[in-house]
Amino acid sequence: MGAQWKAKHKEAAANAKGRIFGKLAKEIMIAARNGADPDMNPRLRMVVEQAKKASMTRETLERAIKKGAGLLGESVHFERTTYEGFAPHRVPVIVECLTDNVNRTVAEIRVLFRKGQLGASGSVSWDFDYLGMIEAAPSAADADPELAAIEAGAQDFEPAEDGATLFLSEPTDMDAVCKALPEFGFQVQSAQLGYRPKNPVSLSGAELEEVEAFLDALDGHDDVQNVYVGLAE
């Protein structure tokens, strides 16, 4: 679980795929405000790569870019909001949202936190590090993640899924690290800024199931983009 909540059964469900595409489309629209050409817009380039990895269709991808860049005559007004608090059993949680109606979103997030505790800004973020998280797969047989991390300017690295490596960077260094990694045998698959817990909580049995159900409900909300949780793997 660590940095970002992902329900174990989620990728297998068709409705979950739709939610993932919806979240990615919002990020694409926000990024495309600064230009519709991914080659000239690093943030858009990264989100487009994530969308391709998730198998978003080209038509959906291009429509989101055009809509965000204002090329379809539609105005897009999403506001980014962050909520902090605790899941059941005092597990710290940070929730990032993109919404076109802040009042509606905060009311609905408040309801979802009834089994936990919604806190004020800063109530749990002190217990997380805000980092660039770059997932990259080896493109060369002799690719060395430790050497790549040092040379590309990453702070640290750790194994990720399917043989990939997660490189961690200062937020301001993320784009530079992404550009440098291919020189050292790693192809960037996704990159985003996010939170990692400093002191994750360990749970098991019924307590863990209760927290997972709480997190799954949060992640299922249409306006929620990311859920970061201080829960040990």
Tell me how long the chain is: 233
CATH architecture entry for 127-197:
2-Layer Sandwich (3.30)
Please state, in angstroms and rounded to a whole number, the distance separating the CA atoms of residues 28 and 72: 15
pLDDT on residue 10: 41
**CATH assignment, 79-126+199-229:** 3.30.70.980
Structure token digits, residue 152: 């590309």
CATH architecture entry for 10-68:
Orthogonal Bundle (1.10)
Domain locations along the chain:
10-68, 79-126+199-229, 127-197
pLDDT on residue 34: 84
Would you tell me how many other CB atoms lie within 10 Å of the CB of residue 190? Answer: 20
Per-residue pLDDT of the chain (233 residues; tens, 9 = 90+): 334 545 444 444 445 667 788 888 888 998 888 888 888 888 888 888 888 888 888 898 899 999 988 888 777 788 899 999 999 999 999 999 999 899 999 999 999 999 999 999 999 999 999 999 999 999 988 899 999 999 999 999 999 888 899 999 999 999 899 999 999 999 988 888 899 999 999 999 999 999 999 999 998 898 998 999 999 87
Amino acid identity of 213?
A
Please state, in angstroms and rounded to a whole number, the distance separating the CA atoms of residues 90 and 58: 42
pLDDT on residue 6: 54
On the question of a common fold for 79-126+199-229 and 127-197, the answer reads yes
Please state, in angstroms and rounded to a whole number, the distance separating the CA atoms of residues 198 and 48: 30
Please state, in angstroms and rounded to a whole number, the distance separating the CA atoms of residues 93 and 163: 28
pLDDT on residue 211: 94
